[in-house]
């Protein structure tokens, strides 16, 4: 696997977070990488963070990295790419403490579609 920092997608994810009112997301502590070489067939993207014990040992605040798996992500429509970014951002908890929100209550088709619709409404106003 190879990883490449994506300024384009990092800026986009930060703008989506701002537009959706995810004020708890510390924008300078979220980045996006693109990866190549994955054998995964179903995974489009993943979100990563450093465990709390490592954060404490390194005396660092939480940091989240969204990994876009190029082999899957690049083939998606623009709508699906945006929804993928939304999906990963919704995994970040309101505490911004280094953990994750689960799919059942916080990250599901309904919440993603609602956020996508809200994002679309805001874009038409600008």
Q: Would you list the domain boundaries of the chain? A: 2-125
How far is Cα 1 from Cα 74, in angstroms, rounded to an integer? 16
* Backbone φ, ψ for residue 98 (5° rounding): 105, 0
- Among 56-60, 61-65, 74-78, 120-124, the range scoring the smallest mean pLDDT is 120-124
What fold is seen in the domain 2-125?
Answer: Zincin-like (3.30.2010)
Average pLDDT over residues 5-10: 97
- The string of pLDDT tens digits covering residues 32-44 is 999 999 888 899 9
Neighbouring-strand partners of residue 47: 66
How many Å apart are CA 122 and CA 107, to the nearest integer? 21
The percent of residues in the chain predicted with pLDDT above 90, rounded, is: 75
What is the per-residue pLDDT across 16-34, written as a single tens digit (0 to 9) for each? 999 999 999 999 999 999 9
Q: Label residue 126 by pLDDT band (50, 70, 90).
A: very low
Q: CA–CA separation, 116 vs 89, rounded Å?
A: 12
**Could you tell me the pLDDT band of residue 110, with boundaries at 50, 70 and 90?**
very high
Backbone phi, psi, residue 44, to 5°? -95, -40
What pTM was estimated for this model as a whole? 0.90
Q: Is the pLDDT of residue 79 over 90?
A: yes
């Amino acid at each position: 696997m190879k990883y490449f920092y994506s300024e384009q997608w990092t800026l986009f994810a930060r703008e989506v977070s701002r537009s959706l009112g995810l004020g708890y997301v510390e924008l300078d502590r979220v980045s996006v990488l693109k990866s190549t070489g994955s054998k995964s067939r179903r995974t489009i993207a993943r979100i990563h963070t450093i465990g709390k014990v490592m954060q404490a040992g390194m005396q660092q605040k939480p940091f989240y990295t969204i990994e876009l798996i190029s082999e899957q992500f690049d083939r998606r429509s623009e709508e699906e790419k945006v929804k993928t970014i939304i999906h990963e951002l919704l995994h970040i908890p309101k505490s911004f403490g280094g953990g994750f929100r689960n799919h059942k209550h916080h990250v599901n088709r309904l919440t993603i579609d609602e956020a996508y619709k809200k994002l679309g409404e805001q874009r038409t106003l600008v």
